[in-house]
Structure 1
Amino acid sequence: MRLLALVIVVAALAGCATAPSPATLPWRDEAFAGGTEPTVGKEDLFRLDAALVRQLGAPEVRALRPKQRVEKLLELVYGPDRRRFEYAAGHSTPANETWRLKRGDCISLTVLTFAAARALGLDAVMQEVQVPAVYDRRGSLDYVNHHVNVLVQVGTDRPVLSLARYDDVIIDFEPEFASTARGQPLADEGVLARYYNNIGVEALARRDYANAYTHLRAAARVQPNYAPTYTNLAALYIERGLAAEAEQWLKHSVAASERPEHPMRALHQLLLDQGREQEAAAVAQRLRAWQQNDPYYWVSEGIRHLRDNQPREAVRALERAQQLTSGFTEVHRYLALAYWRLGESTRAQEQLQVLATINSNDPMGAKLRRKFDTGSSR
């Protein structure tokens, strides 16, 4: 499921160079006075509706084996047809509010599922999974969604030599980006930081700068090493004309990022806007060097070219990603589509065969097969 860390990149941002120490980070409480402190704490975020807790705690449900409990969880929460909830982007909500509204964005649905899984006694963890960056332009802001899902480890009935063996069950709400790979496990604090980050981003989009600041600061307090928060703080500072402080946030975000593309892009633009071409060129060189060996960058480029109806350019980018990777389902999904749009149906089918060997149940693979069978070019 995509989302969780809405990483905002405004028209003038990106990062590099030496990061400031935490003691010198440019907090400016006086410039953003008037915001309210977050009212949702960790327990509030995961608290379930009492009626749902009773359903999950029914003796007949608790008596089920782990894999059966996973199925029962999805039935109780999302309905037998999995269509009880409406996807609603733009606002993140705690578990009980998501349940009451019967709608939510990706993080809301993930938090609800995770909380319900734990209530059922399942060995569940929310995880952040690397996916290609997909940009969503809304007004003057570019949103870049990260991807999260819920992984449940289900023990086998017959442990071998007293060592428990586990099967992974991944609950994911975004078929296009669903991944069977293990991601980075998130502790409760990590999830709360991402929730605060999203609320801060929502406030920033409304130009409610005081509340954007209080929630982004709360996110940094809960999980200081969560880099997207600092990129978003830079976007906020840019909006308030605090360019020097924004530059510090971007440098800090780059230093804290495993994949620093977004803050590096932002710093590059910020330097250009200030007429600092030589420094901007150095950042651009570092960014290009990083991108050349990042398969996710090339997949993102392939997706962008597909959206722009440029299949030949998409093939070039995705073939580069294929050279850098092994076992990446998304590479083969989009390369199959790019070949198909070029009229190279044999090569498209070959990519679907590779995809099937990686994951025979891949939902996007089945969708593409239907598309190809009907002769659709889109």
Structure 2
Amino acid sequence: MFKLYFRRVFKTLHNYRFVSLISTSLLLGACSTLEYSAANGKTHNNPFKDELFPTYQSFNIETEDEVFSLGEDALVYMEESINYLQDPKERIDALVDDLFTQSNFKLLYVNDANTIASETFKTKSANCLSMSIMAYSLAREADLEVRFQEVIIPEYWTNREGFSLLNGHINLRISPRVQSNIHYFNRTGITVDFDPLSANDRFTNLFITKNKVLAMYYNNKGADAFLRGSHDEAYAYFKASATTSPTFDDVWVNLGYLYKVRGDLELAQRTYEHALALDDDNYTGWENLAILLDGIGEKRQAKEIKEKVERKRFENPYYHLMLGDQEFNRGNWRAAIKYYRKAIRLDDGPHEFYFGLAKSYYKLGNIERSEEYLRLAKRHSSLEQDKQHYQGKLNLFSNL
């Protein structure tokens, strides 16, 4: 699932790994207006500007039912494989076993695949947001108690179409449903997490509403549309996200960036400020605001904000990974190596850091060091598809 932030800056919850993602959500009607407050204390009656996106209403936005409904194939699967079990704990075990270990149901993690539950079941490939939506619907079909959780992970970026995308993450908590005639000595349930790196006790998990998850889905779809250059469609999805969950600060950052792209800098600034009023720790919102202020000549204020954000991010290894990727894409491979090494000094676990070194040394013509770091990247990978990816590259080296 995604916090997809645009950076040139954008946030997605794919890519709440999710793309971009906790309070009670308010669903507003299509003609309703939302009063929102900017950081300067001013209020504005309408945060949307439809006239900037004249064709946005021509795009079909999936309804909640369409996003969460299962197809006939999934219902047949549940009937034949899960629902015949009488004990809810056995249903939980069987469902989780099928999701993660059965060869006929093995899921493929695809970071930019944002799909509805029925499609995810058919293709067996999606990002963690779409996988979690599908798993939620399967668990509900099994008459289980299920809740979404946002995982509070460090800022983590991926690159796509020339943008740095800030990712978020969610998972599920599944437990037996409360029944008056049954008492469970342990009803804590289990956490279902489609990212093995997040499925541990290092990160805080916070319960979030189904509405919030729907808003995340719309946010991801809006980011996908933006990256395709379909700005009116992106607006349609971002507006749907913001009205579905008005306190979802990430989508307001993305909406602000979209206003900036369309040339309404005043509205973009107000929208960034609104996101920051919702969450003062939204560093992407601060960064986007600083870039906008710098562009309109507010150099001193922009510099102060940028320095504040950099101080906050300096101890985050993924921040240095992002900086390394930026230098790599500019052809500054030695500078990239310095950032990748800094990331490893802060956290020597993630395989992406070693791959950064491998590709940089390859560009510098140092095949031996490149192969060394490819092996380390493979060793530090937890997903089989990543291991296979690195092994494929190592096989190419053996043919040199």
Q: Same fold (TM over 0.5)?
A: yes
Q: 2:157 corresponds to which residue?
A: 133
1:273 to 276, 285, 295: 295
Quick one: which of 242, 258, 266 aligns to 2:264? 242
Q: SS at 1:197's partner residue?
A: helix
Determine whether 1:190 maps to 2:209. no
Give the secondary-structure state (helix, strand or coil) at the position aligned to 1:134: strand
The AA in structure 2 aligned to 1:279 is Q
Check whether the contact 1:271–1:280 (CA below 8 A) recurs between aligned residues.
yes
Tell me what 2:95 maps to.
69
1:86 offset after TM fit, Å?
9.8
Instruction: Give matches, 1:76-155, under 5 Å.
Output: 80=104, 82=106, 89=112, 92-99=114-121, 107-122=129-144, 124-129=146-151, 130=153, 132-138=156-162, 142=163, 144-153=165-174
Q: Which moved more, 1:302-311 or 1:189-198?
A: 302-311
For the aligned residue pairs, the C-alpha RMSD in angstroms reads 4.6
Report the secondary structure of 2:160's partner residue.
strand
Pairwise CA distance, 1:373:
8.1
Q: Quick one: which of 31, 47, 53 aligns to 2:51?
A: 31
In structure 1, distance between residues paired with 2:206 and 2:186: 24
The alpha-carbon distance between structure 1 residues 317 and 153, as it changes in their structure 2 partners (threshold 3 A), is farther
Letter in 2 for 1:170: D
Deviations 1:80-107 (A, max 9, x none): 1637x795947x4422344467765664
SS at match of 2:70: coil
Match of 1:224 among 240, 246, 249: 246
Gaps of 5+ in 2: 12-37, 177-183
Q: Conserved in 2, the CA contact under 8 Å of 1:128 and 1:185?
A: yes
Q: 1 CA distance for matches of 2:81 and 2:326?
A: 50
Distance in 2, matches of 1:19 and 1:315, equals 38
Q: CA deviation at 1:338?
A: 5.7
CA distances 1:53-72 after superposition (whole Å, capped 9, x unpaired)? 13203376541453232223
Residues 9 and 263 in structure 1, CA contact (< 8 A), matched pair in contact too? no
Deviation at 1:282, TM superposition (A): 1.8
Q: Provide, for residues 193-223 of structure 1, a one-character-per-residue CA deviation record: whole Å limited to 9, x for no partner.
A: 1122233334445665554434322212222
Partner Cα distance (2:353, 2:221) in 1: 35
Q: Secondary structure at the match of 1:7?
A: strand
How far has the Cα of 1:192 moved from its partner? 0.8
Q: How big is each residue's C-alpha offset from its partner over 1:319-363, in whole Å with a ceiling of 9 and x where there is no partner?
A: 5445656xx842xx2444467658679x9699789969xxxx565
Unmatched runs of 5 consecutive residues or more in structure 1: 156-160
Question: Which whole-Å CA distance do the structure 2 matches of 1:372 and 1:93 have between them?
Answer: 30
The 3-state SS of whatever aligns with 1:144 is strand
- Cα deviations across residues 34-55 of structure 1 (Å, max 9, x unaligned)? 5338653333321111342132
Number of aligned residue pairs: give it. 348
Distance across 2 between alignment mates of 1:313 and 1:154: 49
With structure 1 as the length reference, what TM-score do the two structures score?
0.70
Give me the whole-angstrom Cα distance separating, in 1, the residues matched to 2:277 and 2:175: 37
2:31 aligns to what? none
2:194 corresponds to which of 171, 177, 181: 171
Q: CA deviation at 1:367?
A: 5.6
One-letter amino acid matched to 2:169: V
Distance 1:57 1:133, change over 3 A: same
What is the identity, as a one-letter code, of the residue corresponding to 2:198? Answer: S
Q: Distance in 1 between matches of 2:192 and 2:9?
A: 40
TM-superposed CA distance for 1:247, in Å, is 1.1
Q: Does 1:289 align with 2:311?
A: yes
Query: Judging changes above 3 Å, is the alpha-carbon distance between structure 1 residues 301 and 123 closer, same or farther for their aligned structure 2 residues?
Result: farther
TM-score by length of 2: 0.67
Tell me the residue number matched to 1:254: 276
CA distance, structure 2, for counterparts of residue 353 and residue 137 of structure 1: 25
Q: Is the 8 A contact 2:327 2:336 kept in 1?
A: yes
Does the 8 Å CA contact 1:336/1:349 hold for their aligned counterparts? yes
**Equivalent residue runs for 1:331-346 within 5 Å:** 333-337=351-355
Paired with 1:207 and 1:362, the residues of 2 have a C-alpha distance of 32
